[in-house]
Every structure is written in structure tokens, then in C-alpha cells.
Amino acid sequence: MGDSVEFFRKPPDITAAVRRLDVVLSRWHAEVADRLGMDEAELRVMARLVLDESQGPAELARNLHMTSGTMTAVLDRLVARGHLLREAHPTDRRRVSLHLTATAHEAAHNQVLPGVEKITELSRGLSSAERQTVGRYLDELVALVADTGASIAQRQGPAMTRCPLRRARRPWTTADSTEGWRHV
């Protein structure tokens, strides 16, 4: 009887799983930003700089789809909170170098490390071949989403790409189903 039930069971819907992951990651980013006392735009800038401090304000604004004015305001807030240093570029006096402070690195480390450790532990349950398959799929998915976003922005123009994230003002809660989240 168990075999007949399995036969009729549908394979997992990857699109729905990716959407659930997107929703949960968005919620997690909002929670991390709240715990760090910043908005999501500030968190996005910090996350980008943790990966690559070689970007200046203009590059960050382009890569994060923010206007230069929004980026300036975000950087001002991060500097005021002691998370970021602005310094003259060592070789190009027209540019500004951005550097996260030790405080910013420590705060990011404390908020993100527990999640990274859980992902690492979950990954240990996969074989080497499964990890490679999942990694390849996720890389291809990232490229697909990036290409799709770029083509939409190209068709609709720059106004569609210039909408910084706004901080959620109310706490999040799970909806009755696992399909999404809602404000309370």
C-alpha cells in the first residue's frame, strides 16, 4: 500500500521551494537588519562590502539598484553608526574608498555565522555528488535570475531598478500556511 501512495505522490515543485526560500531569506534579512539596528538597504550595502570592499559608492549604487542620492544617505548612516569608513582612494583622488570597521565585521559575523553553520551542517548530509549537483543548480539559478532581472530592467528602463528596500515597520509572523509571510 505504501508503494502505491508513493507512486501517486508528485515530485517536489522546485519553483515553489525556491519561492519559499526567497520569502524566508527576505524575512531573515529583515530580522538581521533589525537586530543590527539598520534598515535593509544598509544591510545590503554591508553585505556587498563584506564580499568586496573594492567598490566605490557609484559602483555600489549601480550594483544594488539604488540612486546615487540613496547610496549617499545609506553610506552617511553607516558612517554615523561607526560601521563604515570613507577614505580618499590611494591612487585616484576623484574616488572614495569604503572600508567596513571592525565593529561592522564583528556584528555581521555574530548575526550571520549561526546560519552559515546550520547550512554547513545540513550540507554534510549530502554526498559529494549531491553537493555538486545542488551547487551547480543554485549557480545556474542565480545566473538565470540575474539575467531575467537585467532583461526586465532593460525593457522597462532605469526607473524600475531604482527602488531601495524599505525597512519593515511591523513584526513578521507566519501565515497559517507555509506558503508565505504577512505583516501583523
What is the separation of C-alpha 77 from the centre of its chain, rounded to a whole number of angstroms? Answer: 19
Identify residue 74 by its one-letter amino acid code. Answer: V
| Inside any domain, residue 24 | yes
- Report pTM: 0.68
The 10s digit of each residue's pLDDT in 142-166 is 898 888 876 666 666 654 444 444 4
| Inside any domain, residue 181 | no
- CA–CA separation, 64 vs 45, rounded Å? 8
* Domain that residue 80 falls in: 2-167
Place of cell 555565522: 113
How many domains does one find in the chain?
A: 1
The 10s digit of each residue's pLDDT in 84-136 is 999 888 888 888 889 999 999 898 888 888 888 999 999 999 999 999 999 99
Residue 101 backbone dihedrals phi, psi, to 5 degrees: -80, 170
- CA–CA separation, 44 vs 164, rounded Å? 10
| Inside any domain, residue 147 | yes
| Inside any domain, residue 172 | no
CATH number at residue 142: 1.10.10.10
